[in-house]
Amino acid sequence: MGMFTGKKGLILGVANDRSIAWAIAKTIMNEGGTCGFSHLPDRPDDDRQRNRRRVEKCLEGYDDKIGFLMPLNVQNDEEIASFMEKARQEFGTIDFLLHSIAFADRDDLRRDTIDTSRAGFQLAMDVSVYSLIAVACAAKDLFAEGASVCCMTYFGGEKCVPGYNVMGICKAALDATTRYLAYDLGPQGVKVNALSAGPLKTLAGTAAGVGDMLKLYEQIAPLGRNVTHDEVGRIGAFLLSDMSSGITGDIIHVDAGYHMMGSPGRMLDRLKDATG
């Protein structure tokens, strides 16, 4: 019997097999859970349905653990309502909801924060932050007693990480949203937490310049290495399980300890050795 045996819930944000959402979903299904998945809507002219096919490829071999797979545009309230209605039809109630969705226009990510466009700021906040409120609200009547919500954040919302720019502001807002939703849903026994992962090679990570960050974390993190998809997947599953029943409104870091450092640590020692 696994940690998620008899549990069912929703996974929003799998793009491909390198997605953090997939690492978490895979852990949940391996532990006996059943998941309903969203995928990015495909363009009407995309006969190959590339977004759907990428997620379907991930799901191969998990047929008995898949409740449904359907497109979801989190900027469209009607689509969110339809997605939750599908969840109601398939599951009745849900025990967990993973929100792993963020987006900013590449041009705005490349700009200094001070040069962020108004339209780009609104787009990034709508997709990356308001969508958590929207899906949690749409799901509030579906949550079983003791259900869990988890979203994906990053250290750039707590401290300035040059290059993360407007997305850092979005993550700060997402962190605050996590706390306020934890308060709102607390009377239902629903907990809401955020998982802050170190840099990983994902689609979003590539857009944010993860290559340089991987080198930096390896040098500064107390464990002297980067984290893996599997490590993040296990902690994400933990936050969505009954095992974390006493934790809500929190940010759990999975970054080999990088976030707690107040100086470059051993990296500074190496620099001293290199310069004599």
Please give the structure tokens belonging to residue 208: 């944010």
Burial of 143 (0-12, 13-18, 19+ CB in 10 A): buried
Element (H, E) at 103: none
User: Is 154 one of the annotated active-site residues of the chain?
Assistant: yes
Q: How many CB atoms lie within 10 A of CB 17?
A: 13
Q: Which of 62, 154, 180, 217 is catalytic?
A: 154
Element (H, E) at 1: none
Q: Which of 62, 130, 164, 258 is catalytic?
A: 164
DSSP 240: T
Q: Inter-axis angle of helices 131-139 and 77-91, to 10 degrees?
A: 40
- List, in order, residues 6 or more apart from 105 with CB less than 8 Å away: 117, 120, 123, 124
- List, in order, residues 6 or more apart from 96 with CB less than 8 Å away: 7, 9, 10, 28, 33, 147, 148, 149, 150, 240, 241
- List, in order, residues 6 or more apart from 52 with CB less than 8 Å away: 39, 42, 69, 71
User: Is 164 one of the annotated active-site residues of the chain?
Assistant: yes
Active site residues: 154, 164
